Amino acid sequence: DIAEPASALGKACRYDTSLSFRESELVILLTGAKMRSHTEFEIHTGEALKAGLTMDIVSAIPRDDEFSVKAVDEKLLPLLDSDREKSIVKFTAELLDDSTVSDETYETTKAALDNKESVLVEITSITGYYTYVCYTLNVFKIPPK
């Protein structure tokens, strides 16, 4: 049964990383936005607000056909104060849009994360796990609760 290991991975991605709650929610919202999962985006909007993101930040995330690295750079990045958050967002947006990141983005993000490559693994894992969640929600047309 795939549900049990998927649930364990979800728990690890959600609660057992070095990212702050706010940083994790940015990664999850970007993933929901790119993957066209309105249910995921709606569920995590509430979580993001609890994590300290503002509605202005959430609303600035480009969604569906509007999602691109350029749109994220122009609309979302100016609203973030922390270089760490900006790097995490840029890394995530590029990963989602290109299925990889450039060497420059990799090195810039790694530097912003105190050269901890393990945090890049965490961001990539959260993005991958929530892509799976979005696919599941989209395929089975699961509405928000």
Q: Over the stretch 59-107, which tens digit does the pLDDT of each residue have?
A: 999 999 999 999 999 999 999 999 999 999 999 999 999 999 999 999 9
Is the pLDDT assigned to residue 3 strictly greater than 90?
A: no
Q: Helix H segments across 35-102?
A: 38-50, 55-59, 69-71, 83-98
Q: CA–CA separation, 95 vs 129, rounded Å?
A: 13
CB atoms within 10 A of CB 115: 9
Paired tokens of 135: 């696919």
E strand or H helix that includes residue 19: none
Q: CA–CA separation, 109 vs 117, rounded Å?
A: 9
pTM to 2 decimal places: 0.97
Report DSSP state, residue 72: I
Buried residues in 13-32 as b, exposed as e (16+ CB within 10 A): bbeebebeebbbbbbbbbbb
Band of residue 145 on the pLDDT scale cut at 50, 70, 90: confident
For residues 104-112, give the mean pLDDT. Answer: 98
pLDDT of amino acid 101: 98
